[in-house]
Amino acid sequence: MPLIFVYVTNPNRKEAKKLAVHLIKKKLAACANIFPIDSVYPWKGKIAEEKEFVLVLKTKNRNYAKIAREVENMHSYDIPCIIKIPIKANKKYGEWLESCLKQ
C-alpha cells in the first residue's frame, strides 16, 4: 500500500482544521497534523511574507486526486498549495492507517 503525505498551506489554523476534519470524516485521510509556519514567496509582483498553517495529511496514494479536489473546492486561496510526498511507515502504523481509511 503506497502511503503519502499531502502538504497543504492554509491562511489560518481554523481553515486547516476544517479541512482536516472534513477529509478524515470522508475517510480520505487517516490523520492530520497542523503546524504554524512563516512563508515567503513571490505574489503579484511583490515578495509576500505571511504567517500560514501547514496541514499534513497521512493517507494512501490512491486518495490524492480526491483530496486535491476537495481542498480546491473548500480552500480560500486562489491557488492552494497541494503537494504529494511519498512516505514509508513502520508496519504497525501503516496497518493502523489502512484501517482508518476503509470505507
CATH number at residue 21: 3.30.70.120
- Assign 102 a pLDDT band (cuts: 50, 70, 90): confident
> What pTM, to 2 d.p., does this model score?
0.94
When divided into structural domains, the chain yields a total of 1
Q: Give me the sheet containing 3-10, strands edge to edge.
A: 31-43, 46-60, 3-10, 82-87
Who contacts 55 (Cβ-Cβ below 8 Å, separation ≥6)?
Answer: 6, 7, 8, 9, 10, 16, 19, 20, 32, 33, 34
- Calculate the CA 57 to chain-centre distance: 4
pLDDT at 61 over 80: yes
| 5 close to 85: Cβ distance less than 8 angstroms | yes
Residues of the domain holding 66: 3-100
| Mean pLDDT (the chain, rounded) | 96
For residue 91, the one-letter residue type is K
| 101 close to 27: Cβ distance less than 8 angstroms | yes
Q: What are phi and psi of 10, to 5 degrees?
A: -135, 150
Who contacts 88 (Cβ-Cβ below 8 Å, separation ≥6)?
Answer: 3
pLDDT at 74 over 80: yes
